[in-house]
Amino acid sequence: MYKIFIIEDDKALCENIKDGVAKWGFAVASIENFDNILEEFTIYKPHLVIMDINLPYFDGFYWCKKIRDVSKVPIIFLSSRDSNMDIIMAVNMGGDDFVTKPFSMDILLAKIQAILRRTYSYGEGKDHIIECRGSILNINNGTLTYNDKNIELTKNEFKILQLLMKNRGKIISRDRIMRVLWESEYFISENTLTVNVNRLRKKLEDIGLTDFILTKRSQGYMIP
């Protein structure tokens, strides 16, 4: 599940955005302490930030730079200011999009979904994440996250899951999986692969991902 972090000091607008984002199945949190935004960002670890430009203490440009020092997470700026200079500043500071107030919630949601697709869906983005059926595979650290629960994967479990998630909807043969795991299908017991898949399924079930990997008899495995 993608996590959205809202940095907006207009409480009514912030709640409206939170409600709209949550209805689309995203996890969402908003800033509590405008004096130390970076700390809350680091603790929450969002996949996307929505940030106003006019904020208490320091403006959104300042905090965008601070976030960019530690993360490449997408940032959408919100502002009632729509001058070309503000838009240029937002882009130059590392912002990914700019939405002028007042705005349609449908437009904001469309921008959120488009940026998330570009950044994460194919696993080729800078953050090296693959999203599939609400779960997120982090290629950098070999963990899987689902509904705020994390599981550590063994090297083989990670390779199996990465291959299946990248090819969602396609049947991947047992021979192909074995070649990925051991660089050869020879001298490897069929039972060894079965054991690895069963252990992986048990870990997935423990965090609520039941029937995530399907067996196609005499063909292989797939994620539907």
Task: Give the end-to-end CA distance of the chain in Å, rounded to a whole number.
Answer: 17
Together in a domain, 91 and 152: no
What's the pLDDT at 186? 43
Per-residue pLDDT at 77: 93
Same domain for 175 and 98: no
Number of domains in the chain: 2
In this structure, the answer to whether residues 147 and 104 fall within a common structural domain is: no
The reply to whether 176 and 214 lie within a common domain is yes
Among candidate residues 98, 120, 142, the one where a domain is terminated: 120
In this structure, the answer to whether residues 22 and 98 fall within a common structural domain is: yes
CATH code, 172: 1.10.10.10
pLDDT of residue 9: 93
| Dist. CA 81–CA 68, nearest whole Å | 22
Q: Are residues 115 and 10 in the same domain?
A: yes
User: Are residue 25 and residue 101 in the same domain, yes or no?
Assistant: yes
Which domain-ending residue is among 56, 86, 120? 120
The pLDDT tens digits along the chain (224 residues) read 789 999 999 999 999 999 999 988 889 999 989 998 999 999 999 999 999 999 998 999 999 999 988 888 999 999 887 677 778 888 888 888 888 888 889 889 988 988 888 887 544 444 467 888 888 888 877 889 888 788 888 888 999 999 999 999 999 999 888 888 876 444 456 678 888 899 999 999 999 999 999 999 889 999 99
Q: In this structure, are 135 and 105 located in the same domain?
A: no
Q: What is the pLDDT of residue 123?
A: 42
Q: Count Cβ atoms below 10 Å from residue 158 Cβ, excluding itself.
A: 19
Domain check: are 216 and 113 in the same one? no
CATH number of the domain at 16, please. 3.40.50.2300
Q: Give the residue from 139, 109, 151 showing the smallest Cα distance to 25.
A: 109
pLDDT at 188: 54
Of 82, 102, 120, which residue sits at a domain end? 120
Same domain, 30 and 87: yes
63 three-class SS: helix
Q: Are residues 187 and 145 in the same domain?
A: yes
Task: Give this prediction's pTM.
Answer: 0.55
Strand order in the sheet with 149-152: 129-132, 135-138, 143-146, 149-152
User: Is 30 within 8 Å of 74 (Cβ atoms)?
Assistant: no
Are 53 and 33 found together in one domain? yes
pLDDT at 125: 43
Give the whole-angstrom CA distance, residue 154 versus residue 144. 11
pLDDT of residue 149: 84
Give the range of the structural domain holding residue 168, as residue numbers without chain letter. 129-222
